[in-house]
Amino acid sequence: MDVSLVPADTTEDVRGRGVGVPRQIAVLPVGSYEQHGPHLPLATDTLVACAVVREIAAAYPVHPLPPVTIGCSHEHADWPGTVSVSAVTLYAVVRDIADSLRRSGVDALVVVNGHGGNYVLGNVVQEASARGERMALFPAVEDWETARERAGVTTSLLTDMHAGEIETSILLHAHPELVRPGHEAADFVADDRRHLLSLGMSTYTDSGVIGRPSRGSAEKGKELLASLADSFAAYFSLLTEVDPPRPGGERG
């Protein structure tokens, strides 16, 4: 295991970090274990989520958690190595983590999702928020779009679906030793994927790639992560406010 994926905090580190902040926030990376074409590892989404969390933890007084490494990757089941859990299981794991954190005095949780197929995480956050719990899902599409523009990523978010310019760039920056040769010639575009949930990824790509990894670079990866860390400021402010605004501008 790459020990950089697991925080090295002691309990005293956590206690000290909570001093002086109105609310303590934990940050949970959630990834997947699924095919990412011939050039990126199965753990790509987990590695991306962990890289985002490291950037956040370097800039804000949050508590980074170890990653959830297997998610909902059923659309990738046709490729060897892919492993999934059910949406019910992933929901329960994140709920249990949030409950456990509150019992230890950390009452806000940001779920940093590295895999688009983990749709259920939106439901976890939505339902928790309706119960009055403090939880957020990061990054939003808007955060990725801002990061894409800042980093000079030329592939649209629609086209850059899987193992493309964004993911290749982040791994070239954060874990270049894990990027295999061949991404320079692995581009494949399939923008119309309307039956993805019914038919799976193999209907749209033979290689497992949908996007333009040839355009990836370490420099873009660095800027993508920096932009996401900047975007996190709004989430930090929202979750640490004593009386956060409700939709429409009203206070709770």
Euclidean distance between CA atoms 131 and 15, whole angstroms: 26
Give the number of other Cβ atoms within 10 Å of residue 76's Cβ. 24
pLDDT tens string 174-204: 999 999 999 999 999 999 999 999 999 999 9
User: Is the predicted pLDDT of residue 141 greater than 80, yes or no?
Assistant: yes
Q: What is the pLDDT of residues 75-115, one digit of tens each?
A: 999 999 999 999 999 999 999 999 999 999 999 999 999 99
Which residue has better confidence, 217 or 22? 217
pTM of the model: 0.93
Of 18-27, 37-46, 124-133, 196-205, the one with minimum mean pLDDT is 18-27
For residues 245 and 41, the model is more confident at: 41
Residue with tokens 């439901």: 123
- 200-222 exposure pattern, b = at least 16 Cβ within 10 A, e = fewer: ebeebbeebbbbbbebbbbebbb
Binned at pLDDT 50, 70 and 90, residue 17 comes out as: confident
Token pair 């299981």 is found at 89
Beta bridge partners of 46: none
Residue 14 — pLDDT band, cuts 50, 70, 90? confident
Long-range contacts of 104-108 (CB under 8 A, 24+ apart): 105/18, 105/24, 106/14, 106/18, 106/24, 106/25, 106/26, 106/63, 107/23, 107/24, 107/133, 107/134, 108/23, 108/24, 108/25, 108/26, 108/134, 108/135, 108/239, 108/240
